[in-house]
A and B are shown apart, each in its own frame.
Chain A
């Protein structure tokens, strides 16, 4: 990416300074600053009330407390139930998205005919384009009753249905990034493996997947990050009741669901309830941002190796 820079204009000395050109460059830089301002804005928006919050509630109590009831009097502010809820959903989602996403990617990259791939890939992408509120509807109205039909005792709102649907939603994320990484593996490696008597299974599992591993792992990390940050599916299908459990059959509340459920109400500004939104938001932001950085690093690694 960084290897190709824009063409520089001829290095002749210009007769005069072109003010119009400078103004334009300044305006373009201003556009670019909007995204910097967004990051700074997010940080300020989260940090200031979060710091206020941690002045009243100690960080240790926040991280280790086992009860979350900020709207009660007196409130309890242990974030663990929300974290557990998030983990329960994320775990189910990843258990679906990782194997099936990777399987789809191997099929698309190593097995599918070029014409088949041209049909399958856009179809898979449709999943990525469906609004999350629709997935939430599907989880609540179809998946939960279906789970009960096949004999799994789930609550009406449960982490399992939300996680399963979220997992399917994330299949395209895992599949398309992993497939990109596999496509970047040079054919010479495949030919070499065939020449040594390997068959297709060997080539796919022992050559291509290991060679594309950093990209594949990046797709997993990105999927985890998206699962943690996803709001609507869990808000609709997993419930709004903080429970200290990792059992996906139970009603839980995730961090995102708490933020959305509390943020929409008319919580008075400056109150401790209002500040909890930001404390939980900061926890969420830090977790996902860290994972995104890991993912971009990994992606860059596989691109550098083969291009």
Chain B
């Protein structure tokens, strides 16, 4: 009897998460499905909620995503290669580096927003521009990319490195021609997941001024808003019709994330090697 009760309690706790997830998706789709019209995707923001579109926000989110990948993949993979293939782990500074990255991964995203506000927007004088947004998101997800890349590098068996060294390869030749290609699927999966996390981030972008009325397509060094920020903007309007519009925006956002996740899973299943 106690056995069954305990099992029941466990299943109940699991169902709390699953039922909430179901209710959340149901609510969003119920509110937002009717909002998925052409204007939402191709139009610009408007003072009439029925005419309000998110095109500048969607474009800015895509552009920031691409910039982010261009920044975060080289830096993140470089860091991972340094830590896994080059660094002497007995040295205090390398251990500090490792601990630092673990801790950065758990710093609240709003703190990155403060960093962006203080240095990029005001300090460097970059202003409240799309490039600053991409840079702040890069720093935000950098630890994620580093951790995923390190795991991918660590999964490459040592016999491959030893074989290459035996044939006279230098350290970089071993890394570049043998280890990195073998680790690529894991790195790609981790980077795509980092990208999908960055795309959903709202708070740091609000801090650097993305919460603003934009009625034109974004440029690299111009003011911008992003899709989640646009959603927040609509939610915070008192007009109920804007709230519904926000639900439409959420469906678009979730759609983008779903596609990215599918791609990540595809890459992992298709290319990942088992050693």
Contacts and interface: CB of A to CB of B under 8 A. Distances in A.
State yes or no: do A and B come from one complex.
yes
Q: Would you call the interface of chain B mostly helix, strand, loop, or mixed?
A: helix
A34 interface: yes
B46 interface: no
A189 interface: no
A184 interface: no
A201 B108 contact: no
Given A9-B165, A138-B28, A288-B107, A36 B207 contact: no
Contacts of A32: 78-79, 82-83, 87, 97
Central interface residue in A35, A106, A127, A200, by most chain B CB within 10 Å: A35
Interface size range of chain B in the complex: 35 or more
Contact of A10 (B17, B85, B100, B165): B165
Interface string A9-32: 110000000101100110111111
A131 B17 CA distance: 16
B203 interface: yes
B183 interface: no
A292 interface: yes
Interface stretch (A55-63, A64-72, A95-103, A207-215): A95-103
Nearest to B11: A107
A104 B13 contact: yes
Given A31-B74, A99-B13, A107-B14, A38 B104 contact: yes
Nearest to B169: A9
Nearest to B261: A129
A281 B111 contact: yes
Nearest to A120: B14
Contacts of A232: 202-203, 232
A277 interface: yes
A229 B110 contact: yes
A264 B99 contact: no
B51 interface: no
B250 interface: yes
Interface string A129-150: 1111111111011100000000
B267 interface: no
A38 B115 contact: yes
A276 B27 CA distance: 37
Given A45-B119, A201-B2, A260 B207 contact: yes
Interface residues of A, number: 94
B114 A278 contact: yes
A78 interface: no
Contacts of B103: 39, 289, 292-293, 296
Central interface residue in A44, A133, A226, A288, by most chain B CB within 10 Å: A133
Contacts of A99: 13
A32 B247 CA distance: 40
A5 B89 CA distance: 7
Contact of B24 (A25, A42, A108, A134): A134
B23 interface: yes
Interface in A220-261: 222, 225-226, 228-232, 235-236, 256, 259-260
26 contacts: A25-B82, A25-B86, A32-B97, A35-B146, A41-B119, A42-B107, A100-B13, A100-B16, A103-B12, A104-B14, A106-B10, A124-B14, A126-B21, A129-B197, A132-B200, A133-B232, A134-B231, A141-B243, A142-B24, A171-B17, A259-B113, A269-B122, A284-B110, A288-B107, A288-B108, A295-B106
Interface of A: 2, 4-7, 9-10, 18, 20-21, 24-25, 27-32, 34-36, 38-39, 41-42, 44-46, 49, 96, 99-104, 106-108, 111, 120, 123-124, 126-127, 129-138, 140-142, 165, 168, 171-172, 175, 199-201, 204, 222, 225-226, 228-232, 235-236, 256, 259-260, 263-264, 269, 277-278, 281, 284-285, 288-289, 292-293, 295-296
Given A28-B79, A231-B110, A263-B114, 13 more contacts: A9-B165, A38-B142, A42-B111, A45-B118, A131-B199, A131-B200, A137-B231, A140-B235, A141-B31, A231-B203, A285-B107, A285-B108, A292-B102
